[in-house]
Homo-oligomer: A and B are copies of this chain.
Amino acid sequence: MTGIGLIGYGYWGPNLARNFSDVANAQLTACCDLRQDRLDLLGQKYPKVQLSTSTADVIGNPKVDAVVIATPVSTHFRLAREALMAGKHVLIEKPMATSISEADELNMLAREKGLTLMVDHTFVYTGAVRKIKEIIDQGEMGEIYYFDSVRVNLGLFQHDSNVVWDLAPHDLSIMDYLIGRAPSAISAFGASHLGQGIENIAYLNLKFDDNLIAHIHINWLAPVKLRKTLISGTRKMIVYDDMETSEKVKVYDSGVSITEAPENIHHTLVQYRTGDMYAPKLDQREALSLECEHFIEAVVSGIDPATGGHAGRRIVAMLEAAQESLSEQGAWISVH
């Protein structure tokens, strides 16, 4: 039985508490939050959990084997570092840290201590994203041309991070998981419409070493909620619309091919293909539930998790490059 210590019972913490409560071989053991009313709420639902307003009580608790960090991003590094130093496995909210150097240090620490370090890239565990991964890995798409993602709504403005750090981790982690390699450079363009210097809308351009490109539109100031990803390949094209209640993933047998006919010196022949579309059946289980199980499995067996510290580090590297590009008027910043 893996004892879970939860730090932070704000927006996302309740979902983590609920899911870890239901995972076999895990037990929610301790929780801390700065606000007493949040602890009271948790206490009512999970009366056996030890409550505290101090993170030390969770990290230092000998019955806690793994620490789950659901706090503002600025505190991720310090808390994860303390937990790893104390010999605890760690699951951190996205994004993993505020800089590459922080992420690197956490990864090094986890390796030295032989501990599991995982990042909560929830979308990677959805039935939709796992099905797309399966389709891509089986070669059904052919070579990928582009990855285009839109994630907009009337979102909560945050005081300490912009829309890139808030929303882009979702799209970047989905892309990272599906594409399996990192972009070489990022260019970002955005605006802060409420005069606070915190971007509420941004567009990211991503280059890869080959012909693949990616683009992400994230936006807190839109009247409707859109979450739509287009992925085109040489053989198939996918539309992943997370706002659909069913049929979130549609696979189109559509495309274009070029024939260089010898008699056509001046023209190339472009042939269009529009065939059937299919919407594969998707696993309907809650993504966070699968993720919590996966974390426990990684803790127990020592396997590398699908969204481990290295995946977390790659996302932070992209965010850092995007942030630098925002400050430099959209200049291309290499992703290291």
Of the candidates B47, B146, B274, the one whose C-beta lies within 8 Å of that of A154 is B274
Please name all residues of chain B whose beta carbon is closer than 8 Å to the beta carbon of A187 when the two chains form the complex.
187, 189, 330
Asked whether any CB of chain B lies closer than 8 Å to the CB of A215, the reply is: yes
| Closest B residue to A236 using CB positions | B223
Chain B minimum-CB-distance residue to A279: B277
Residue of B nearest to A195 (CB): B258
Q: Which of B201, B254, B267, B270 touches A146 (beta carbons < 8 Å)?
A: B201
Asked if A77 is at the interface of the complex by the 8 Å CB criterion, the answer is no
Q: A211-B193, A332-B330 are in contact. Are A157 and B256 (CB under 8 A)?
A: yes
Q: Say yes or no: B225 contacts A246, CB within 8 Å.
A: yes
**A123 in contact (CB, < 8 A):** no
Q: How far is the CB of A45 from chain B (nearest CB, A)?
A: 7
Residues of B with C-beta under 8 A to A190:
213
Q: Which residues of B contact A23 (CB under 8 A)?
A: none
Interface flags, A237-268, vs B, CB<8A=1, else 0: 11100010111001011111010000000011
Cα-based distance from A247 to B223 in the complex (angstroms): 12
Chain B residue numbers with a CB within 8 Å of A281 are 253, 274-276
A144 to chain B, nearest CB (A): 10
Asked if residues B222 and A258 are in contact (CB atoms below 8 Å), the reply is no
Known: A148-B217, A193-B145, A267-B159. A224 touches B211 (CB 8 A): no
- Contact, CB under 8 Å: B245 / A154: no
Cβ–Cβ contact B154 & A196, under 8 A: no
A72 at the interface (CB under 8 A from B): no
Q: Decide: A252 and B225 in contact? CB cutoff 8 A.
A: no
For window 140-166 of chain A, which residues contact chain B by CB distance below 8 Å?
145-146, 148, 150, 152, 154, 156-157, 159
A279 pairs with B276, CB closer than 8 A:
yes
Cβ-closest chain B residue relative to A243: B245
Q: A203-B205, A276-B278 are in contact. List 17 more A-B contacts (CB 8 A).
A: A145-B201, A146-B193, A154-B256, A193-B211, A194-B270, A215-B217, A219-B230, A221-B232, A221-B256, A222-B230, A223-B232, A223-B238, A224-B230, A224-B246, A243-B245, A245-B245, A279-B279
Is A329 on the interface with B (CB-CB < 8 A)?
Answer: yes
Chain B nearest CB, measured from A31 CB (Å) = 16
Q: Using an 8 Å CB-CB cutoff, how does the interface string of A42-66 with B read, 1 for contact, 0 for none? A: 0001010000000000000000000
Per-residue contact bits, chain A 187-230, to B (CB 8 Å; 1 contact, 0 not): 10111111110000101010000010101010111111100001
* B154, B157, B252: the one within 8 Å of A224 (CB): B252
Tell whether A272 is near chain B: CB-to-CB under 8 Å.
Answer: yes
A332 and B332: CB pair below 8 A?
no
Distance between Cα atoms of A253 and B247 in the complex (Å): 13
